[in-house]
Structures are given as structure tokens and as C-alpha cells.
Structure 1
């Protein structure tokens, strides 16, 4: 809707984005058919469709937020450049790298476009025949209007587009020349900000929430320049403030002299809030920000995008930014990029998968979401497993005949128990994350949870069924070990020590365990393959167990053959809670089975779950009042 005429004596009557002031609701009358017919059409430009270099198509709703995620160097930033290169002249060459095709959809007449350009402050005030297409380009106004609607001209959408990389948004805090009169053209964000008290108040409020300090537009002390100052705004918003207020304003620090975090936060919001751009491309908006500020920025970006059905494209490496962008009511498309040689593999995380991950409190506290931004992920049962296997892989660099492992190794993420590995694996595989899992051998003890794990890693449970049944039947036929012989076997080594040997906490734990009734599954979980080799010899069960381990390995599930984590250092006679501490204190590379552990973890990095099958990324915009992923 066209903005109301500006009244010089009440300059704040024209509110942000040209919305009519609602200070006096009695002024607002229901539109008649005649008045509705006089409302001019609106010029718009939106991204309608993308094609990635692996051939994946993606349709974009006109009011969508699109979030590109992935590991470092996966092509997130390049995707944004590819999308707006032709329109804004951004990039280093004409060849698109990640996004190979962009289809824009425009609407509105040339007259509507001219009105949009004038409202944007892009028409030259001197001659009225020159238009600032973008900060990099200008054009003759009449020629530009003639090109409107010609799909082959990429520059036609430039006035509708905002691009903000790190350098660009830091420059947004710099002072600019004062605007030439209230009705003069205002091409800079600060100049446009001066027209909206509402936008100024919201910017100040966001700064207070994020940094406990407001910002305001200083139009009085800059000697012909306007700037953002950090501090309380003056009480006088019209006319010239009194001398004592001017002195206070002059003493306040310029925003451009503040830290990069504040400048980046305010610079992004200033550009997206004070402009009438319809499409924004923002590269890693969380840069320079701590997680709480990144969350606040994401929430603000989501809210501002909902004004006027705008589009927002973001590349991010931040879980906090991703979740904040999902918090609004806009349709959100989460697209993960994975570089595979010269090609970029594209996957999309569905709404249900994100909600499942985030709804599980234990998974929420285990940094599983960070796996979406990793080159590859290894899922483990607990944080102790992650710490041990991660340290083994790090130390392996020193035992490989001079070969150095890649600097960006896998991210180890735990799921607070083996039962939740399947939940995390379903989501991460669907998002295209290269994935494997490490589990203890007692995973073979329960059919349903084992089948869920196999399915989540792309396997077919029926192919494991026969061997699994053989192992479980052998375990079911074993009696508990609470016999005199079993207790004697555990206690005699302790009693054989010299009489004055102190009893340690580990010894006490061993004595308690000796008198506990342990099921066959628990004993199997501690002994691993040795259980069927020597403790309870069973050739068929042993062969089936080995077959299960091989078949699991083929789909990225790596089963500890000796039982559990503690089996990598059986010489450490300590409690389960102290095991990792003592292993680290002794030195991982000095443990008796360090070499075996290296081979095991290395195999886990090489044998991964097969990629999840993906369908074309088609979306249908469905309006509702709750956050959603399409």
C-alpha cells in the first residue's frame, strides 16, 4: 500500500515500510470500491526456483526463509554469491559454482517499479533521470524501466536485493552524509532510518536486549554527517536539542568505534529493518557474536522477514542461529550442502526431523545439532566414549609412519544411550551428514532396538535376523553366574595378594560385583567375543556374532568386539566412572590395546552409513500460524 503523504510538522506520521500511521484510529476508514481501485499495484521481485550443481531443484515460496548449513568449505557462502552474482555483480567470475540456475519472479508495472525506486530513495534528486540500481551500479531511469519484465536482464531485480557479507555489515555502522531535506532521496540505511521513529525504537530495543545498551541516530553533532551513537537517545526528537544535551550526545561513542559484535548485529538489523528490500542474502550473520546474541539476531531476522512477505537467504554455521530462524511463523527450508569433489551434494532436513531432535531433552543437551555443521559425525552412546575415541584418533597421528590425518576430523557426538542413536541417525542421514556409529557389543541383546538402529543407518533388519537369533538363543540358555565357583574365580586373585596390601576402591567394587547376580547378556557385554570363545564356548553363536559385526560394519555401525569401552584397557582395575580419567592420566598410547583401538576408530571413519535416499526438493507454501519446515 502506498504510504500516506508526509506532513512536515509531524514527520513521524509516516511509519516504517510506508505503513500508514495508526496514532489515531479514527482516521482509518474502510476502503470503498472506488478507493480500492485507486490503490497502485506493487512492484515485487522474488527468487522462485534454484538448481544446484548436482541437479537438485528447489522451489522457493515467496515468503520463505532458506537456511544453508554444512561443514566449513561446503559452499554455503558461495551459494549466496551464486544467487545474486548477476544481479549485484558479486563474485569472481561468471560461472556459478554451487547454484547453477536462479529463476526470479517479478510482478508489477513499470509505473509501480518507478514508485518503488522513488520510495527507496534510489532516484537521483538532481535530474530525476538516474537510478541507483545497487551500491555497485547505476543506470538511466527510463532504460531501466523499459527493461522491467524482461527475464533475460538479471539487473532488473537489483534494487530489491540486499547482500550482507561480513565486511558489508561492519561498514553499515559508519557515518553517512545527512539526507538533503526530509523528502529528499535516501539511499543509505541510516538516511532511511531517519524517516521512521518506529524503526529507530525497535533498533534501540534490540541493541538493549543483546548488549544492554541502546543505539540512536545522531543528526545533530556530526558536522553534516549522520551517525549511530551508543547510549541513551536525547529526549528531544524534533528540532535542535539544547546545548547541554548536544554536549552529552557529542561525548557518546560512535557505533563504528565499538566492537565487531555490536557493529555486525546492528548493521544487519539496520539494513534489513530500515530498507524496503524484498530479498536478503546474509552470509553467516552469527559472526562475531556469542550464542545468546546470535539467537536474538536470528529471532529478529525472522520477525522482520515476516513483514511484507519478504525472502531471507542465510548461510550459517551456528546451531543457535538455525534454531532462532525456526522460531517464527515463516516457512523455513533447511538445506545442507556437502562438497563431494567438484560437486556439491544437496540434502534437506524435514520439519519432523528437526522437531524430533529438538524435542528430545537428552539429545538437545548432547550437541547433536552441531553435527549438522560437521564434515562427518561418529555417534557414540555416552560422552566418555566420545572423549576416548576422539583422543585415540588424535593420538593416531603419531603412529602412522609420518602420515598426518586430516585437520578436520569427524565430530564425535553422544546420544545419552544407545537407544537414541537411531533417532539422531535418522535426522543426520536425511540431512546428508556422513555418519557412522560406535556401540558396545550388548547391542545384540535386544531385537527391537537393534532393528531400529540398523534401519536408521540404512540397513535391512531381516538380513541380520538369523545371526541375531542365534546369538540371543545362546544367551537365553545361560544361567546367572551367582555360583560358588563363579564367586571364587573373582575373589581368589584378590586374596592371593600379600596380607598387608591396602584394599582400594576398585577392589571393593570388584568384591561387590562378585556377589551380584549377572545375566548372560551382561557378562557377554563385558567379555565380548571371548564370552563364546572361552567363558561359555559356543561355535555357532561365535560365528554369528562375528558375522553380525561384519555386517554392521558395512553400514557404518561399529561394534566393540571385546565388549565395551573399558575393554580397550583391561589392565585398568578401576571403577567405570574413573576409567577414562585413569586412561588419560596413564596416556592413551600406552594402553595395552591402543593399536587395536586405533584400527577400530580408523575403520569407523572410513566405513559410513550409505547416503539416505532423497526426493526432489519441491515445496508448497501452506500458510499457518506455527513455525514450519517445508
Structure 2
């Protein structure tokens, strides 16, 4: 149906605009206000009107597949309407549309437009694709479970409930999915004559007639079931979307934040079932989501999926197609999965720390900057932790491979890590490989100078232990790492921050005491507000790297 999509911008300013072949499922991810929902609305407009809009923000163009003559004729049959009683129809004409919208058109013209949709994009979209495109957003996904007219069984089905009532296979498929999700059996109840309504039963109907009939046994069966209106918003939204996808059978389906009202496990299942519903068909599904669980479900369905990450900051938009194998790597690695690293898809920036104690401290510092010194704080930033400094790189590299600005924060004893550990740390920051040897030599020399000082580099001052020449060499090394988003605590370790508080412990005990001393109520005199140096400036330096237009370390 849709063959190719072109956007208006690329992975960075000056880079070629993104254009990609359309897979059955395309998922737009990214931070808030990055344009995900706007992308859906612009695709919807194109599928309705078939014309380019110059003031579009996201979408540049859509290219459609050109079907065979047989496929075009089948598509035409999909939108044909039967004449109403007393409605005249000229020879060679047919009626197309949906529900109350009806157009009398020459069948020859309609077929020509279907055969050449790109040449006749306006007519193709206006008279065909617009009736096969649906957007689900906000409240309308819940309204999908409202009672629907039963219709005339001697006429083609015109609604998802009518299709569900008549098609045993589709009804069985929807029932399977809903039962796996909620442990209840979805049934379609015709006993309110002239209306079809959905119910949830503790048991499946014993026969088709027990479900589809209006005799005593059918009435008794349905009266013992729960009206779906009595279910939670999650049940209603999930069931409505599944019903519309399978029974409504749209060619183009756009869903904005499908995870709304859903538990994470249900978001995962919805993603998987939605994606699998496109297999073997020419359907195209476009989704805007904030749910890593939904994304995981789509990818693990086995269906070809495009993941498109959008960002917008300082009037600059970016778009990047994320490789599925990289996302699968994030999901399959136990360490990465346990840290919730896939959440990074939905933030502008990510900071990776050595431990949970580091993460909690730096996150609190950033929150105070955002509240009291916002020009220094990092907005829309996710803080996640590795297990130690050796595993910081394990999280950084795949995030950056996806184009996500991720900064690493480590203590000064990273200098102890030589060989492949040091090299892999540089690799995670995407430093040029030719620089590995000279930086390794400098690392070894600075470490040796620190060892000769006879003091612990972490606890007794870090680079301040060195003479002027060695200290300059250490600072130059760390300055270069910082250009690539690798930040080292130069005066030691986490516990060397805010020394004026005189906290003597280490690790989690240090964190508890620090949090006690910095206060929790901004109106109290003991509440610590941001200063101009110490850890406050450290976070600001990370922000400067995030906001640099010539930022190093993120591959295009």
C-alpha cells in the first residue's frame, strides 16, 4: 500500500533527509514534543487528500505501491457500496464511500486511479484510501467498544462488529487474544435486537448458536456475562483496538499512544498482536508511543518493523531509523534489560553512572538545578546506572549506536583500567581509533604519577595530588574525553562532592547522610540550593556537551 516515506530532515543538521521503505509496522519514538503525533496527523492528511503540504513539519512525501490489475480490482471491491432502495445507478458507474458518504463514479476511472496511485494521488486517496484509513487516539479507542447496529445480514458488513458477528475465524482470533490478556472470553451479543454488543464471559460459548442466536439458551448465556462497558479503561481500549485491527480491517491504521490505560505487560502484548496482524497482508500500521514494552512487543513479533526516532530541540528536528538488531541487543542483554535502558528511546539525553548510588545523587543534583538554576540543569534527561565502571561502556555504546546522546560518568580510578578495558571505554565514546594508543600512554603516565604520590587517588584529591605538569596532562586527557561525552570525577569519586557537608561514609550510607543534610523542603533553611562550582558545575559541563551542535561521539 504505502511503499516509501520521506521526511523533511535527517539525523543531524546538514545531514541528508531520512527516507525509508515502509514495513508493515512503523513506530515513531522519541522525547515529548518531538513530533511523533504530528507525524501521524500528517500521514493521515496525505492518505485522505493525496497532496503534499508545503508547511508540513515532519512528512515530505509518500510513495504508494502500484498494484497488479487483479489486486486493483480487489481493492475496488473493498470500497464498493450497494445501491440503496430507489437509488439509480448509471451504466458503467459504481458507488464508493463509507457509511453515509457515497459517490457515484465511473468504474473505469476508479480502476485507473487504483492502478496508478502516484500519478493520480489525490483521486486515489480521496475516493479509495481515505475510506481505508483510521486513526485511533485518546477517547475514540475506548468508544470502539460501544454498541453497533447489527445491520442487514443480506448486505455486506459495514462495521467491525458486523464483520465479527459473521466471520467465525476473526471472532475466534479476537477471542483468543482477549482471553490471553484478561482470562475472559469475548463474545458478541445479538440479543438486544438490532444491536450488537460485546461481553466478557468466564467460559467460551459451547456452540456458535449459543453466541449468535436469540433463543433462550443464547439469552441465558449472554445475561450471565459481563458487559464490556463494566470493564476497566484498559480492557476497553485493548479490546477496541484489537477488534478494529482484525475485524475493521483498515488498510492504513494510525495509533497515537496505544499504551494509554494499559499495564506494561498488556502494552507488550498489544504491540506483538498488532504487528502479527499485518503478516501476509498489505496493511500498514503507524504508531506513536512512549512505551518500551510496546516497542519490544512489535519487534519480537517477527514482523518487519521500522523504529523511527524523532527529536526536536532549539528549532532543530532530527530523525533516525533505528536498526532492529541494535534494539534486540538492548532487549536480550540481561544487564541492559535490567537497567531499563530501552527507556532511553523516549528521552532527549541519558546519563549513565557507575552505580545506583551515583545515579540517585546526580539525578537529585540535576533536579535542583532545573528548579533553581534551569540554565544549568539538563531537561528531559534519563539517569540510569551500570553495575560498575567496567559496565558503563556496555550501556553507552548501544545507546549511542541508536543516535541517543548518552554521557558516561565515572570516578577517577578509571585510570587503573588499562588494556582492553580502557580501549573499550574509549570505543563506547566513539573516539577515533588512532587516538587509542596515545591516550593509553597518557593514562598510564598519569596513573603512575598518582601512584608515586603515595595517596589514594579516589579519596585524597585525585588530580590535585599531582605536580603542575602531571596535573595538566591529566586535565588535558579528561578534557578530550569530555569532548566525547565521557566525564571523569577529577578530584576523586562520588563521595568527594559537597565536602563542606562533612560526610565521612561511603556508598549507600554516604548517600543517605548527604540527602539528610541537603534537606528536602525548599522553604527550610537547611535546604541546599545550587552553587556555581563543585558538582553543580560538573552537571552543567555535561549539559554543555549535550547542547553542543558540534557534539562529538554520536555516530550519524
TM range (shorter): 0.7 to 0.9
Deviation at residue 87 of structure 1 after TM alignment:
2.1
> 2:33 matched to 1:73?
yes
Question: Residue 214 of structure 1 corresponds to which residue in structure 2?
Answer: 185
Question: Residue 435 of structure 1 corresponds to which residue in structure 2?
Answer: 406
> 2:256 matched to 1:292?
no
Deviation at residue 310 of structure 1 after TM alignment:
3.4
Say which of 529, 542, 548 aligns to 1:604: 542
**Residue pairs, 1:96-245, within 5 angstroms:** 96-109=56-69, 112-119=71-78, 122-124=81-83, 126=85, 127=87, 131-133=95-97, 138-142=102-106, 144-148=110-114, 149-151=116-118, 152=120, 153=122, 154-155=125-126, 156-181=128-153, 183-220=154-191, 222-231=192-201, 232=203, 234-238=205-209, 240-243=213-216, 245=218
* Per-residue deviation, residues 129-179 of structure 1 (Å, max 9, x unmatched): 664545795432435445322423233433443432233322211111112
Distance in 2, matches of 1:119 and 1:164, equals 21
Using the TM superposition, name which of 380-389 and 586-595 deviates more. 586-595
Describe the shift of the 1:409–1:343 C-alpha distance in structure 2 as closer, same or farther (beyond 3 A).
closer
Describe the shift of the 1:115–1:478 C-alpha distance in structure 2 as closer, same or farther (beyond 3 A).
closer
Deviation at residue 528 of structure 1 after TM alignment:
4.2
* Per-residue deviation, residues 578-602 of structure 1 (Å, max 9, x unmatched): 1111111222655999951111112
Say which of 40, 46, 56 aligns to 2:17: 56
Question: Residue 13 of structure 2 corresponds to which residue in structure 1?
Answer: none
Describe the shift of the 1:331–1:92 C-alpha distance in structure 2 as closer, same or farther (beyond 3 A).
closer
Query: 2:66·2:117 contact (CA, 8 Å) conserved in 1?
Result: no
Question: TM-score normalized by structure 2?
Answer: 0.84
* Per-residue deviation, residues 49-100 of structure 1 (Å, max 9, x unmatched): 3333445233325x53222110111111111222231323699987422111
SS of the residue corresponding to residue 166 of structure 2 reads: coil
Question: Residue 39 of structure 1 corresponds to which residue in structure 2?
Answer: none
Deviation at residue 250 of structure 1 after TM alignment:
3.9
SS of the residue corresponding to residue 558 of structure 1 reads: strand
Question: TM-score normalized by structure 1?
Answer: 0.75
Describe the shift of the 1:75–1:121 C-alpha distance in structure 2 as closer, same or farther (beyond 3 A).
same
Distance in 1, matches of 2:530 and 2:370, equals 18
Say which of 355, 365, 385 aligns to 1:414: 385
Distance in 1, matches of 2:325 and 2:168, equals 40
Deviation at residue 230 of structure 1 after TM alignment:
2.3
Aligned residue pairs, count: 521
Deviation at residue 274 of structure 1 after TM alignment:
1.3
> 2:340 matched to 1:367?
yes
The gaps in structure 1 that reach 5 residues or longer are 1-44, 487-519, 615-630
> 2:458 matched to 1:525?
yes
Distance in 2, matches of 1:405 and 1:178, equals 61
Question: Residue 38 of structure 1 corresponds to which residue in structure 2?
Answer: none
Query: 1:348·1:430 contact (CA, 8 Å) conserved in 2?
Result: no
Distance in 1, matches of 2:48 and 2:222, equals 37
Which is greater in Rg?
1
Query: 1:66·1:332 contact (CA, 8 Å) conserved in 2?
Result: yes
Question: Residue 505 of structure 2 corresponds to which residue in structure 1?
Answer: 574
Using the TM superposition, name which of 549-558 and 448-457 deviates more. 448-457
